[in-house]
Amino acid sequence: MKDTDMSATEADATKSTKYEENWQANFLALKAHVEKTGHFPNKHTTLNNWVRYQRKRMKAGLMTEEQERLFLELSAMRSHEHTGGRKKGTSYSRNEA
């Protein structure tokens, strides 16, 4: 076996490390976005897709405790001010002027 060949365990560790690095980079980008705007992204962007995926992972119980804690803390930092669109529970009719 060559020195450059990796065992399955080493390959898994490298994959896990790469995933953690990507998770941390996306988390920091999201944190910067929230600090700047007060909201999670609401457009079809890579960052918005990442947020949606993290919510899915959290519901499925696939996040580490640390990731879930960080994500929830960041979620709590968001402004709860309505930013557009129709508010839930609000009906609009033509008779209103």
CA 68 to mean position of chain CA atoms: 10
Segment 25-37 shows an average pLDDT of 95
Instruction: Please report the pLDDT score of residue 88 as a whole number.
Output: 58
Q: Which of 10-14, 16-20, 34-38 has the lowest mean pLDDT?
A: 10-14
Domain-by-domain residue ranges, the chain?
Answer: 15-77
- The tally of CA atoms less than 13 A away on the side-chain side of residue 89 is 0
In terms of Cα–Cα distance, which of 29, 45, 33 is closest to 79? Answer: 33
pLDDT digits (tens, 9 = 90+) for 38-56: 999 988 899 999 999 999 9
Question: Is the CB of residue 30 less than 8 Å from the CB of residue 40?
Answer: yes
pLDDT at 30 over 90: yes
Q: What percent of the chain has pLDDT over 70?
A: 73
